[in-house]
Structure 1
Amino acid sequence: MARLTRSPATSVDEIRHAQARLAVDTPGEGFTEITAEAAAFLQEIGARTGVLTVLCRHTSASLTIQENADPDVRTDLLTALRGLAPRDFGWVHDTEGPDDMPAHVRTMLTDTSLSIPVSQGRMALGTWQGLYLVEHRARPHRREVVLAFTGATGHMT
């Protein structure tokens, strides 16, 4: 039988909101880690406890939290996405080329927004987790990601 434990709840008296936009130049299909940039945003605003919301403002790129230790994981994930939404499937929508509709399907399979708890000024990610923008198009693109923090800010006591 599973054993469950929970830490004590943390509450704050004053809630603040901060937001920034991150431009990500992708090299084409693949994963671009944005963990450090999100962490720098939290540090810049003095985040303590709250939630970081991350939004990719595109329909052919997405976000994911994945292992950041072994790059083979990202290679295998790309292989899986290519198999789930291949370019040569006979898609009807191909306005921007043969990778257009597969990119939309791959985005639907992943996500365009993530909510990440922030504790003691840091994202509550696991040891081997990183935050990634996933480019689903074959050619390079400039993608925009919105970072929004809601919670307590200021020096930790």
Structure 2
Amino acid sequence: MEVVYDLTAECERFLSDVGGSDGLLNVWVPHATAGLAVLETGAGSDDDLLTALRALLPKDGRWRHRHGSPGHGRDHVLPALVAPSVTVPVLGGQMALGTWQSVCLVDTNVDNPVRRIRLSFLAG
């Protein structure tokens, strides 16, 4: 299933566990068919992003990368548009996100429902 999955709570838990104060949180998705975005969720922006990606990257037979479900080649282009990493400033142990911002996994690959996210904290 195509998804925009909010990772903000997992990121906050990680920062709490590592005792991060001030620094940078790096979020990385080690998959060739997923990306990360900072955006508003729950008010339609997450669905709008998936709609825009469907328009930019149609799930049809135009793709040279052909293994998997029909149109799967477009999933391999996704990380060029939605980067596989994001870095968020951390101040006083809290991500310095805007009021409506969330850290989200963006995944259009219906062939692989299992994703891993790598979190790291650079104090500074």
TM-score by length of 2: 0.93
Relative distance call for 1:92 and 1:139 in structure 2 (3 A) is closer
Q: Which residue of 2 aligns with 1:112?
A: 84
Q: Which residue of 1 aligns with 2:98?
A: 126
Is the 1:51–1:117 contact (alpha carbons within 8 Å) kept by the matching residues of 2?
Answer: yes
Secondary structure at 1:104 match in 2: helix
Q: Which residue of 2 aligns with 1:60?
A: 33
1:35 to 8, 11, 34: 8
Q: CA RMSD of the aligned region, Å?
A: 1.4
List gaps (5 residues or longer) in structure 2.
Answer: none
Q: Which amino acid aligns with 2:8?
A: T
List gaps (5 residues or longer) in structure 1.
Answer: 1-27, 153-157
Q: Which amino acid aligns with 2:68?
A: E
Q: In the TM superposition, what is the alpha-carbon distance from 1:91 to its structure 2 partner?
A: 1.2
| Structure-2 separation of matches of 1:139 and 1:59 | 12
Bigger shift: residues 123-132 or 81-90: 81-90
Relative distance call for 1:69 and 1:29 in structure 2 (3 A) is closer
| Structure-1 separation of matches of 2:115 and 2:40 | 22
Aligned length: 124
Bigger strand share: 1
| Structure-2 separation of matches of 1:99 and 1:122 | 40
Q: Which residue of 1 aligns with 2:22?
A: 49
Percent of pairs identical after alignment? 37
Is the 2:35–2:107 contact (alpha carbons within 8 Å) kept by the matching residues of 1?
Answer: yes
